[in-house]
Amino acid sequence: MALKCLILDDEPLARETLEEYISKIPYLELVKSCKHVFEAIEILQHEKIDVLFSDIHMPEVNGIELIRMLQYRPYVVFITAYPNYAVEGFDLDIVDYIVKPFSFERFMKAVNKCLNQSQKKTNKLGNEQSEYLFLKDGAKLHRVLFDEICYIEGMKDYIKVVLKDRVIITHLTMKRVEDQLPEDRFFRIQKSYIININRLKFISGNMAELHDISEKLPIGKQYKDLIFEKFGLNND
């Protein structure tokens, strides 16, 4: 089975070289070649990636910071013009560290290390359910644990994510964020509201009250029966 690969580098020439090298190796499959870190994060959240070939020096978020943010990591090969990050890179358990410019033979050496680790590993990376999601708020990228979320409110093409101690507003639809949330922990109580079930304090009439926040949230008529059904209760 081919190893699924992701390229992250803001330099066009570096991406072209990696794309060419990957195309020559039958057991590598290129999923995406990204120039922006946020584009790569989107892929990593929704695709099973086996190997990440990443630069280190990039605008907004560098390669080291990206790897530290990932809970479930693919095999990582850093490809950079800066050799002074090698120790820090290997402290993150990366597979290899390649200094630019590099030959196809050097690239193959790194690929073979990834292949050997893949063959030895019995568990499948990327199949576990993540415990967080990434939310972009202006120039900031927030790593938000599911347990931190009290509720989410939809506002047309934006959502408001209410945490215990802060609020994040990001350009995302309710459908898109709902697809990223575990169904056993989050529930839509109204067209514009998704709650964290673990934060639910009580339901009174058509209102829900949550722990850690003062406001009560409206429950849509068509959702109320589903809520009681989820908890195995009669809505009498």
In sequence order, the 6+-apart residues with CB closer than 8 A to the CB of 74 are 6, 44, 49, 50, 51, 52, 125, 126
Give the H or E element holding residue 3.
strand 3-8
Domains 3-120 and 136-230 share a fold: no
**Lookup result for tokens 């304090």:** 201
pTM reported for the whole predicted model:
0.54
Q: What's the pLDDT score for residue 150?
A: 95
Angle of the 104-120 helix axis to the 12-23 helix axis, nearest 10: 60
Divide the 236 residues of the chain into consecutive groups of 10 and give the mean pLDDT of each group.
90 95 92 92 88 89 86 88 76 86 91 83 47 80 88 92 92 85 87 91 88 89 75 57
**Residues 8, 16: Cα–Cα separation, whole Å:** 11
Structural domain boundaries of the chain? 3-120, 136-230
Q: What is the DSSP string of 72-96?
A: S--EEEEEES-GGGHHHHHHTT-SE
Distance, CA of 6 to CA of 74 (rounded, Å): 9
pLDDT at site 235: 59
pLDDT, position 175: 85
The pLDDT score that the predictor gives to residue 1 is 65
How many angstroms separate the CA atoms of 210 and 202, rounded? 7
Question: What would the CATH number be for the domain defined by 3-120?
Answer: 3.40.50.2300
Indicate the fold that domain 136-230 takes in CATH: OB fold (Dihydrolipoamide Acetyltransferase, E2P) (2.40.50)
Q: Around 191, how many Cα atoms within 13 Å sit in the side-chain half-sphere?
A: 3
Backbone angles phi, psi at 89, to 5 degrees: -65, -45
